[in-house]
Amino acid sequence: MGGKTLLFLLSFLALFSTSARAGVLSNNPPGSAGSQYDVRTAMKNAWLVRVKPSEKARFYENGYRSGCPALKPACRKKAYLVPGDIAVAAYRMGAFTVIDFVGKNGDPTDGAVETRLLEDIPMSEPVTQDWVGKWKDTDEQVIRIDRTRVPSVLAFQGDATWGAGDPERVKNGGVHTGSFAAYVKPVETWGGFLTEARKWDSFPERTSPTVSDQKGLDTDWSRVFPPSLSDVSPLTDHTECSGAFRLLGPYLLVSTPVDICGGLNVSFIGVYRKVAR
């Protein structure tokens, strides 16, 4: 078996291993064109919604369970949102909207909610401080964003694991880890990196990054998107850790290749919420 073929097979398996953890970014509408795990399209199409001041909004299974979503016990989840809660919406299915909600402590929930209970939130352009802080998707995915001495450039550091929630894997040393460190120059609500930083300081606030420190630092991320899971094929050579970020109100949407920013199945794909400044 050739090296590229093996890489493809491992990446393909990784798509299924990470989908539950990645929430709505890995659950595109059933029957839609392209890959079910098209993170790129999901990030671009996402929008913010808020629960209306009327009643709580209960979660239901989305279209990947037969006969769901529907207002019946077989589809109903235990989780629900209360008026004022803000979530990331991915797409609509009949009378439902599929959303991802991350609590202020970083605990995620995703599923379908009745559209009648939601209202869309207009988007506004973020300021630099909106990016800065500690962001969490699950206990296995954390990203820290700090300022540098260059006002337009931020320092992104990520740490992720795969399998840390499995006691047997922890016991047997089967937990996979990953990390990245890169400078990012956000444009509007988008940011990203093509390669990690060549020069890195563990105290970013005292650093003055330059274009020579990192390939692609001046990329306009409102117009360019790096390779995503939907690009995985035997002809795709993912050798560099890369990432794309979209700041959507209180949420940070993240895409990275699987396996390349760490061990097998490790990625940073997800919907993050700021848990600390």
3-state secondary structure of 260: coil
Query: Does one domain contain both 181 and 94?
Result: no
Q: Is 132 exposed, middle or buried (0-12, 13-18, 19+ CB in 10 A)?
A: middle
Residue 1: inside a domain: no
Predicted pLDDT of residue 27: 58
Is residue 168 scored above 50 in pLDDT? yes
Residue 3: inside a domain: no
Query: Does one domain contain both 112 and 180?
Result: no
Query: Does one domain contain both 75 and 154?
Result: no
Predicted pLDDT of residue 53: 95
Q: How confident is the model at residue 10 (pLDDT cuts 50, 70, 90)?
A: very low
Query: Does one domain contain both 111 and 151?
Result: no
d(CA 197, CA 214): 5
Q: Scanning the structure block, which residue is given the tokens 């990645």?
A: 22
Is residue 231 scored above 50 in pLDDT? no
Query: Does one domain contain both 108 and 133?
Result: no
Residue 34: inside a domain: no
Q: How confident is the model at residue 2 (pLDDT cuts 50, 70, 90)?
A: very low
Query: Does one domain contain both 105 and 133?
Result: no
Asked if residues 182 and 226 have their Cβ atoms less than 8 Å apart, the reply is no
Residue 39: inside a domain: no
Predicted pLDDT of residue 161: 92
Taking CA atoms, 264 is separated from 36, 172, 206, 267, in Å, by 21, 16, 34, 9
> What's the pTM value of the predicted model, to 2 decimals?
0.83
Residue 33: inside a domain: no
Residue 10: inside a domain: no
Query: Does one domain contain both 92 and 133?
Result: no
Query: Does one domain contain both 184 and 210?
Result: yes
Q: 249 pairs with which residues across the strands?
A: none
92 or 259, which is more confident: 92
Query: Does one domain contain both 175 and 230?
Result: yes
Longest dimension (CA), the chain: 58
Residue 92: inside a domain: yes
**Percent of residues, the chain, with pLDDT higher than 90:** 43
Predicted pLDDT of residue 245: 93
C-alpha count within 13 angstroms, C-beta hemisphere, residue 251: 28
Residue 61: inside a domain: yes
Q: In degrees rounded to 5, what are phi and psi of residue 15?
A: -55, -45
Q: What is the CATH number of the domain that holds 93?
A: 2.30.30.40
Query: Does one domain contain both 71 and 185?
Result: no
The dihedral sign for the CA sequence 62, 65, 164, 22 = negative
* Cβ count within 10 A of residue 81: 22
Is residue 225 scored above 70 in pLDDT? no
Is residue 267 scored above 70 in pLDDT? yes
Predicted pLDDT of residue 273: 94
Query: Does one domain contain both 266 and 148?
Result: yes
**Could you list the residue range(s) of the whole structural domain that residue 165 is in?**
128-276
Average confidence score pLDDT of the chain: 81
Q: Scanning the structure block, which residue is given the tokens 């802080």?
A: 133
Q: Count structural domains, the chain.
A: 2
Q: How confident is the model at residue 142 (pLDDT cuts 50, 70, 90)?
A: very high
Lowest mean pLDDT among 18-22, 25-29, 57-61, 71-75: 18-22
Query: Does one domain contain both 157 and 241?
Result: yes
- Residue 141, both tokens: 């995915």
3-state secondary structure of 129: helix
